[in-house]
Amino acid sequence: MSAVKKGLVTFAAAVPEEGLKAALARPRSEVIAEVTASKLRGRGGAGFPTGVKWNLAAAATAPAKWVVCNADEGEPGTFKDRVILAEVPDLVLEGMTIAAWAIGAARGVLYLRGEYAYLRDSLEKVLARRREKGLLGTGILGSPLSFDVEIRMGSGAYVCGEETALIESLEGHRGEPRNRPPFPVDCGYRSEPTIVNNVETFACAAMVLAKGAEWFRGIGTEVSTGPKLFSVSGDCREPGVWEFPLGITIAGLLAAVGGEGAKAVQVGGASGRCVPASEFGRTLAFEGVPTGGSIIVFGPRRDMLHVAENFLEFFVDESCGQCTPCREGNAKLLEGVRMLREGRCSWAYLQELQKLGEVMQLASKCGLGQSSPNAFLSIVEHFRPEIMGRTAGGNA
C-alpha cells in the first residue's frame, strides 16, 4: 500500500538495480508481459498503457530503435519529475535500460527541460557512474544488452513535451507536433521506432520489474494502478510533492495537504480541468479525473476569471502556431476572457466561445490545442454566476 505522504516514498525505498537485474534475467517478451500485467499507464498525463506502447515498439522491425525519456516537464504546476531526477535519477535510468532491453533499443535520450539545466551536471555524473559500474554501455551486467543514454536539452517550448514535437526538436527542427499516425513506436526519432515515456513512468517500470506486477496492481484502483506523485501548489498549507495511490478523492487529497475549504482545484495543470467544490468527491484516476500530477488549489477568494486568463495567456504564448484552431483559437478565447472581466462579453458571444473551445478540442492537430480550452470550458461551466455580470473595473 502506497503511503499518503509528502515526498518520494515508494521510489526512495527502491533497491538499486533490483528491477534491471530481474529484467535482464528474463526474455524480452516476459518483461513486456510483466509491465502489461501491471496495468501501468503513462504518468505524463495522457495515460497510454505503457506495456502496449513497449509491445508496439518491440514488434516494429528496424535496425535501430530509441528509448526517449520525456523530462521536459512543462505543464504549469508540475514539478515532480524534477524531484525524481534530483533524488532518484538511477531509478529512471534503470527504467530506461529495462525499456531498451524490452524493445531492443541500443540508444536512449533523456530530453531535459531547458529550465532544468542546473540538473545536467549531476545527471551526467550519474551516467558516468553507471557506465563505470557496467550499468550502461556494452554488455550490461553481463547480459547481451548494450545501451547508453545521452542528455539533450530542451529550449523552453512547452509544446516539446508533446512526444512528436519533442522528436522534431531532437532532430533539430522547430518544435512542432507531427501528424499521427504514424506513431513514434513505428516512425519516431530519425524515422526509427521510438518509445517516449515520462520520467515517472520509467521509475514505475523499474519498480514493477523489481517487485512484480501484482504488487503494483495492489496499489490504486482496478483501472488506475500504482502509486502516483502529485505536484501540489496553490492555496493549501503544505504544498510540495506528495505521493498518493491513484483513486484517492480530491477531498482526501485536500485534507492531506491542508487545502480544505478550497473553491476549486485545477487537476492536470493548465491543460487539465477545473473541478469545483461540488465535485471534490471524484477520484484522481484515469477513470475519474485524469492527471499527470499537477494539482493547483484555489481558495475561496480566487477570481476564477483571473485563473482562466492566466492559463490562456500561457497557451497563447506556447501554441506552436502550426494549426489554425490552436493558433488563432487560444487568442480568441483569451480575448473573450478579458471581455468577460470587463463585462463586455454577451451571452451569445460566450456561447460562440464555448463552441470554439469544443472545436479546438476536436480539430487541433495535437494534445496542446485539444486540451488548451479545457480550463476555460470547465470554468465557464461551473462558475457561470461568478464570471458573468462583471463591470469594467472588477467584480459586479
- The bridge status of strand 5-6 relative to strand 240-245 is antiparallel
Nearer to other proteins, 175 or 288 (CB): 175
Which among 25-33, 250-258, 272-280, 357-365 is the span making contact with other proteins, rule CB under 8 A?
Answer: 357-365
Name every residue whose Cβ is closer than 8 Å to that of residue 352 and which is 6 or more positions away in sequence: none
Minimum Å gap between C-beta 169 and other proteins is: 10
Going by C-alpha positions, the residue among 349, 347, 317 that lies closest to residue 330 is: 317
Q: Establish whether the linkage from the previous residue to 63 is cis, with ω within 30° of 0.
A: no
Under rule CB under 8 A, residue 310 binds other proteins: no
CB-nearer residue toward other proteins: 239 or 290: 290
Mask: binding to other proteins, 266-305, rule CB under 8 A, as x and -?
A: ----------------------------------------
27 binds other proteins (CB under 8 A): no
Query: What is the C-alpha to C-alpha distance for residues 302 and 281, in angstroms, rounded to an integer?
Result: 21
Question: Would you list the DSSP string of 288-333?
Answer: SS--SSEEEEE-TT--HHHHHHHHHHHHHHH--S-SHHHHHHHHHH
- Interface with other proteins (CB under 8 A), residue from 24, 229, 284, 316: 316
> For other proteins, which residue of 70, 164, 201, 249 counts as binding (CB under 8 A)?
164
Supply the angle between the helices 120-132 and 89-103 in degrees, to the nearest 10. 60
The least distance separating other proteins from the CB of residue 283, rounded to whole angstroms, comes to 21
Q: Nearest 5°: phi and psi at 75? A: -65, 125
- Residue type at 392? A
**From candidates 76, 95, 259, 329, binder to other proteins by CB under 8 A:** 329
Cell numbers standing for residue 156: 523552453
Cα 392 vs. chain centroid, distance in angstroms?
38
Please tell me the distance from the alpha carbon of residue 368 to that of residue 177, in angstroms, as a whole number: 9
Q: Binding pattern to other proteins, positions 122-161, x when CB under 8 A? A: -----------------------------------x----
Q: Which is nearer to other proteins, 173 or 344 (CB)?
A: 173
The stretch near other proteins (CB under 8 A) out of 176-184, 219-227, 285-293, 382-390 is 176-184
Residue 168 belongs to what H/E stretch?
helix 163-170
DSSP state of 358: H
* Angle of helix 28-38 versus helix 199-211 axis, rounded to 10: 110
The grid coordinates of residue 389 equal 455580470
Residue carrying C-alpha cell 477520484? 283
> Minimum distance from CB of 233 to other proteins (Å)?
25
Choice between 157 and 289, CB closer to other proteins: 157
One residue of 63, 181, 385, 393 binding other proteins per CB under 8 A = 181
Task: Please report whether residue 363 would count as binding other proteins according to CB under 8 A.
Answer: yes
Nine-digit cell string for 152: 539533450
Q: Does 263 bind other proteins (CB under 8 A)?
A: no
Of the candidate residues 129, 155, 362, 391, the single one contacting other proteins (CB under 8 A): 362
Of the residues 165, 185, 267, 285, which one makes contact with other proteins according to CB under 8 A: 165
Pairing of strands 273-276, 264-267: antiparallel
Choose, by CB under 8 A, the member of 215, 327, 338, 388 that binds other proteins: 327
Q: Which residue has the cell 539533450?
A: 152
Binding site for other proteins (CB under 8 A): 157, 164-165, 167-168, 171, 173-174, 176-179, 181-182, 187, 191, 315-325, 327-332, 352, 355-356, 359, 361-365, 370
